[in-house]
Every structure is written in C-alpha cells, then in structure tokens.
Amino acid sequence: MARLGLTPQRLAAEGAELADEVGFDQVTASALAQRFGVKVASLYSHIRSTQELKVRIALFALNELADRAAEAVAGRAGKDALVALGNVYRDYARKHPGRYAASQLRLDPATAAASAGPRHAQLARAVLRGYQLGEPEQTHAVRLLGSVFHGFASLDLGGAFSHSLPDSEQSWSWALDALDTMLSCGSTGGS
C-alpha cells in the first residue's frame, strides 16, 4: 500500500506509452493498472472513466505533437518550413503509432477547443505566411495542408503504400514539392 504518486497526467503519459506498444484501442484501464502495479479500481480515484483516460491520452499526444511542430517551424520559412512541419507529423505517426491514433480521437467541441488543436492550425498558418496568401485562401490552404499531412500519414501507417513501388518516402518528397509549387504559383483562380 505504499502510495505511488499517480496523477491523471502520469496516467495519460503511461497510457501513451502503452498505446504505442499495443495500439490505442487496446489501451484498457486493466492493462494500465498492471503497469503501475495497482488494482484496477484504484485508477478510478484519478480518472472518471476509461473514456476520460482515452481523451487525456489524446490531449497529451496533441500537445506533444504541437510542441514538436512548433520547434520544427521555429527559425524556418517557405518550403523549408513546409517540409519541416510535414516531417514532424510523418515522423510522429511512424514512431508513435499509438499516440498518433490517439490524436485522431473525436473530441467534443468544448474539449477540442481547449486542446492543442488550434495550435496546430496556427502553426500551419505560420508556415503559410511565407506564401503570401490572402483570405480566404489561407484558410483553405491550412485545411489542405492538414488533409495532406494527416491523410498521407494515416494511409502510410495503414500500409496502403507499403506493398508497391516506389517506396512511400519518394512519394512524400514529391507531395511536398507539389504542395510547395502549388502554393507558390499564386491564387488558384477560385471557382
């Protein structure tokens, strides 16, 4: 009964580790309790439900990812910044598949608004500042960037690109080049 210093934060961090090892949807209160060497019921002093635990892991991952993105973007501009930002998402998905899956958890609007989600949008906006887009083009571009980064990471992680040539690395470079060219080539006319 020696008391461990458990907190919701530590549970989330360890849950993130667990997610990377066994997959986000295999994260259970039972497994997490085992990891800490306590009984399952004890976790309920710190979290209200398994759902809350998953939300906390998602928030943890979103935050960690935003931190890395911010670091990558700092001191860079233009295509350099674009590539750096894209690589953060891609690398994170590869190295931390469980956390990446967690970051995709559907959050209710209030939670989402209080999450690092908006920071991600701000970082994309910062990168796009180098491309001289007005509104509403910049917003459209933020969304396209998010779609490409997330879509590519998600499909690649799912193995969609792994059983054909050329390897995904090359497609990734090509996609970043294409995005850069497109954003540089000025306004897309608009329908």
Mask: binding to a second copy, 20-59, rule CB under 8 A, as x and -? -----x----------------------------------
Q: Return all residues near 188 (Cβ < 8 A) that are at least 6 apart.
A: 137, 182
Structure tokens at 141: 């571009």
Give, as ranges, the residues between 61 and 100 that touch a second copy (CB under 8 A). Answer: none
Instruction: Please name the residue that has the structure tokens 């040539």.
Output: 165
CB of 180 to a second copy, least distance (A): 9
The answer to whether residue 31 forms part of the interface with DNA (CB under 7 A) is: yes
Rounded distance between C-alpha atoms, residue 172 and residue 152, angstroms: 8
Q: Tell me the Ramachandran region of residue 165: left when phi exceeds 0, alpha when psi lies from -120 to 50, beta otherwise.
A: beta
Q: Which is nearer to DNA, 50 or 87 (CB)?
A: 50
CB of 95 to a second copy, least distance (A): 17
Backbone angles phi, psi at 110, to 5 degrees: -65, -45
Q: Are 40 and 33 in contact (CB under 8 A)?
A: yes
CB of 188 to a second copy, least distance (A): 5
Among residues 30, 113, 129, 132, the one that binds a second copy under rule CB under 8 A: 113
Give, as ranges, the residues between 137 and 166 that touch a second copy (CB under 8 A). Answer: 137, 139-140, 143-144, 146-152, 154-155, 158-161, 163-166
- The CA-CA-CA angle for residues 87, 133, 176, to 5°, reads 25
Q: Which residues bind DNA (CB under 7 A)?
A: 1-4, 6, 28-31, 37-42, 44-46, 48-51
